[in-house]
Structure 1
């Protein structure tokens, strides 16, 4: 991805770009970089067409592309959430562009921005061939911690590796949240000093996943009072008991799966990549896995699914059912029964 900005800086552009994926912060960042490179200040008013969802028809896009730029070298066309790259009627509409793209005017640059795409889609393949199809997802943990420390340094604040890792463990995993929480931390510290774990605890808003992570850790460490306290605090914050159950189930599954993969000889980094989780989470999951037997983890997962079914079928009140599940597996006597 970084090569794109270098190309644009050197005045090298493809006729078509497709930006897609879950990381909207990075997509916006690269969208702005492309716009700044194609359209100098003042040129955007007469040389930028934007089509969103239902307005994104093949005919309208081709008409815009056939319009010559006004007092500028290129024209930019941005197409958002067209649906051209998924199944349905919009896919057929998008395929009308394929032949047109083969003879796309050199003075136009078309940018598609989508959430999900199907890579076997004909339009996707056409853009990947003549232009660039780029997936934006949250960077790996090591890359993120390096970036976080650099951002802190720009503001005259330092952050050690372990603090950066704790910060990532605490906040939501999307880049927009990471940037917002990091800005809060830097503003809190001022223009000098070193950020500590306590600063992260005091300033940053923990994600629901981080709180459930702590809850499950308390369960594995057989600390029922702490586990129930975390759960009840989540309820006070109006979190859904059913959502908490879903996250507990996911954590139990990740612990069980991580331990199995580790026993097969897979390294932590490989496990993290396979399960699409952070490196620190793998370390914690493997540590927690040792506290229960395989049979107990399997039973815990089965109990999670049973609790889920009982709630759905009205046999149990969700708040009480989830609390009973937490109690059972955080109490040594109960989980053995």
Structure 2
């Protein structure tokens, strides 16, 4: 599998530069899964373009379901009041599915006082590079993708957020927080708030994180396989019991467990072939080294034969769960017992 291509962040860097220099343009498209950054920079645009107290007169919004070109044209023609600019925000309108010719006629002649931003949130942005509209957006505007951030940038951002709460956090603990809760800033910001409120000392510890953070499913399943590796079946069973008690669907849990076992198998193969974490990152398109390092550490405690057998048994259980009338929870519990017994044998 070839390495995953790094997303192009040129437009994102251009936006940051424009905001810093006070040179905000006329036309933007905001999309991408990192909604925290999208909302943050949209907020920055509002602060710089709209005088305090005049937002009601100079900020115009329209939702995609209510969108029509006549309404947009009226908003464009609305002159600013006691301000240099107006800001128009169009939420969840698919630019490429409506009247593209009519829309282009509006976008070609945007007045200098207008800043028009199309925001994609619930609707996925899918550009059609073959269309004239795509060419016009490239010529006249800026299409900004708010992508997940690299681990290094996230670690620095986490440290700044904790500092704002009068706390410090070490690099390794920040990496652990990302591993535990995922790498979306939208999710992390709420976890940082909980941990900051809980921690009693200036330095945030891993115990503070474990006490209040809500882990993502992949991290919980990793805890379960780690417990098996350590020979702690009671802990592994307790983790599975908690997941089932939270009414996670057995088929979903099995899917995550299966992926985890396949990753462990490839990590064990990498160790056998004297390959490092970079190989594992490329193979599984992992965005940071930390999960790859954790996989390699865990794989050292399993034999190659166990990893191969466990991957096969997980596939067999998946087939049984989908093709027989057997109870999903019972199949999952039986699989966990087999994994633990085989590991201890």
Q: TM-score range by the shorter chain?
A: 0.7 to 0.9
* Structure 2: gaps (5+ residues): 1-11
1:282 is matched with: 292
Instruction: Spell out, residue by residue over 1:101-159, the C-alpha distance to the aligned partner (whole angstroms, 9 max, x if none).
Output: 23222111111111422243534443233221111122122211111112222333221
Q: How far apart are the structure 1 equivalents of 2:57 and 2:142?
A: 25
> What is the aligned residue count?
329
The Cα of 1:2 is off from its aligned counterpart by 5.1
1:87-166 aligned within 5 A: 91-94=97-100, 96-115=102-121, 116-121=124-129, 122=131, 123-166=133-176
Q: Residue 38 and residue 226 in structure 1: after superposition, are their counterparts in 2 closer, same or farther (change >3 A)?
A: same
Question: What secondary structure sits across from 1:96 in the alignment?
Answer: helix
Over aligned residue pairs, what C-alpha RMSD do you find? Answer: 2.8
* Structure 1: gaps (5+ residues): 86-90
1:305 is matched with: 315
Q: How far apart are the structure 1 equivalents of 2:320 and 2:310?
A: 15
Q: How far apart are the structure 1 equivalents of 2:76 and 2:205?
A: 52
1:88 is matched with: none
Question: What secondary structure sits across from 1:156 in the alignment?
Answer: coil
1:34-113 aligned within 5 A: 34-85=45-96, 91-94=97-100, 96-113=102-119
1:4 to 2:12 alignment: no
Q: Residue 128 and residue 309 in structure 1: after superposition, are their counterparts in 2 closer, same or farther (change >3 A)?
A: farther
Q: Residue 323 and residue 68 in structure 1: after superposition, are their counterparts in 2 closer, same or farther (change >3 A)?
A: same
1:212 to 2:218 alignment: no
Are 1:84 and 1:94, in contact at CA under 8 Å, matched by a contact in 2? Answer: yes
- TM-score under structure 1 normalisation? 0.85
1:268 to 2:278 alignment: yes
Instruction: Spell out, residue by residue over 1:43-100, the C-alpha distance to the aligned partner (whole angstroms, 9 max, x if none).
Output: 2211222111211233432332233223321121111111225xxxxx1434532343
Moved more, 115-124 or 270-279: 270-279
2:336 is matched with: 326
Are 1:218 and 1:226, in contact at CA under 8 Å, matched by a contact in 2? Answer: yes
Name which of 15, 20, 25 aligns with 2:36: 25
- TM-score under structure 2 normalisation? 0.84
Q: How far apart are the structure 2 equivalents of 1:67 and 1:307?
A: 63
2:3 is matched with: none
1:248 is matched with: 257
Are 1:158 and 1:194, in contact at CA under 8 Å, matched by a contact in 2? Answer: yes
Q: Residue 223 and residue 19 in structure 1: after superposition, are their counterparts in 2 closer, same or farther (change >3 A)?
A: same
Q: How far apart are the structure 2 equivalents of 1:308 and 1:105?
A: 59
Moved more, 294-303 or 176-185: 294-303
Q: How far apart are the structure 1 equivalents of 2:172 and 2:299?
A: 23
